[in-house]
Amino acid sequence: MGPPNLRHISGNTYIIPAPVIMGLYVRDNRAVLIDSGNDKEAGRQVLRILNEQGWTLELIINTHSNADHIGGNQFLQKRTNCRIAATRLEAAFIQDPVLEPAFLYGGFPFRDLQNKFLMAKPSTVTDIIPSSGDVLETGLEAHPIPGHFFEMIGISTPDGVLFLADCLFPESIISKYHIFYLYDLRAHFQTLDAVSAMHADWYIPSHAKPTQDINRLLDINRDKINEILETVEDCCRALSFDEILAKLCERYSIDLNAEQYVLVGSTLKSYLSFLRNEGRVECLYGQGRLLWKALR
């Protein structure tokens, strides 16, 4: 894959197309980077673009702490001495990245989980920012969009561009993988409703093409989550977590490896928690097992 190119969106707002889209907002040759990609190489490509344009990196805003959004932090901070801003809970994961695989696995992560896809290199968060409001006098504004992760934020620029992080995934990813990572379904549904009420000239999800109409993508994401909720509920026939996970993988033809096991498994637990909190399933305990049973 060749190096990412810089794409102008509007006014002072640019994106760097990559597996995870990165944003740039530039004023007076001073740049704010929105997320830093998935590894050191992504950071290296960002620095190359900045040098070519004659821009100085002053700040990285991390929308959330998943490894593919903070992977270039350490490289860029060491090279430029830039500041890094994030919300409080996300900052903890950014500074101590072992928290991500440990959280996903629910214990000390075995070595298969200690890789750049789940555990980025640590970097120093210099600025803890709230999940809403102006961001450090940059002209940018934060918007709370939790659900995918703890305190994920979107970022809007004065040019009418709204960066939406991982609150929406493209139809191509959904149709291929079906189950995308979610931490809190209730918060995610609220985020989808909130995004539908936000107005922007351009919407930039991190894994989808920039668009000027976000409504169809919102419907696709919401419909898939509701479909999976019904599927998981149907699987709850006094079965254990692992039995439900096996049925879910069979239903959606998911081949598990270490990373998929913790991502899909953790997401399944979030679905089960939502169903339990909604009164749609009950928990049965006995013989050293927790079983999930639908109430309909």
pLDDT for 26-69, tens place per residue? 999 999 999 999 999 999 999 999 999 999 999 999 999 999 99
Give the CA diameter of the chain. Answer: 66
The burial class, CB within 10 Å (0-12 / 13-18 / 19+), for 67 is buried
Where does the pLDDT of residue 1 fall: very low under 50, low under 70, confident under 90, or very high at 90 and above? very low
Contact present, 22 and 39 (Cβ < 8 Å)? no
Residues 6+ apart with CB under 8 A from 26: 12, 14, 32, 53, 55
Q: Please determine, for residue 2, whether its predicted confidence score (pLDDT) is greater than 60.
A: no
On whether both 133 and 54 belong to a single domain, the answer is yes
- Domain assignment present for 163: yes
Contact present, 71 and 35 (Cβ < 8 Å)? no
Give the model's pLDDT for residue 4: 63
On whether both 72 and 187 belong to a single domain, the answer is yes
Contact present, 173 and 158 (Cβ < 8 Å)? no
3-state percent breakdown (helix, strand, coil) of the chain, nearest 5: 40, 25, 40
| Tally of structural domains, the chain | 2
Strand partners, 153: 144
Please compute, for residue 50, the number of CA atoms within 13 A of its CA located in the half-sphere on the CB side.
Answer: 27
- Domain assignment present for 50: yes
On whether both 199 and 157 belong to a single domain, the answer is yes
Q: Please determine, for residue 116, whether its predicted confidence score (pLDDT) is greater than 90.
A: yes
pLDDT for 248-270, tens place per residue? 999 999 999 999 999 999 999 99
Q: How many residues does the chain have?
A: 296
What whole-number percentage of the chain has pLDDT above 90? 98
CATH, residue 289: 1.10.10
Strand partners, 146: none
On whether both 235 and 249 belong to a single domain, the answer is yes
- Domain assignment present for 250: yes
On whether both 96 and 179 belong to a single domain, the answer is yes
Where does the pLDDT of residue 204 fall: very low under 50, low under 70, confident under 90, or very high at 90 and above? very high
- Domain assignment present for 1: no
On whether both 76 and 147 belong to a single domain, the answer is yes
On whether both 188 and 275 belong to a single domain, the answer is no
On whether both 196 and 73 belong to a single domain, the answer is yes
Q: Please determine, for residue 83, whether its predicted confidence score (pLDDT) is greater than 60.
A: yes
Contact present, 41 and 2 (Cβ < 8 Å)? no
CATH, residue 185: 3.60.15.10
Q: The domain containing residue 240 runs over which residues?
A: 231-294
Q: Report, as an integer, the average pLDDT of 180-194.
A: 98
Residues 26 and 153: their CA atoms lie apart, in Å, by 20
On whether both 142 and 60 belong to a single domain, the answer is yes
Taking the mean position of all CA atoms in its chain, how far away is CA 201? 22
Quote the pTM value.
0.96
**Beta-sheet pairing, 161-165 with 127-128:** unpaired
On whether both 35 and 86 belong to a single domain, the answer is yes
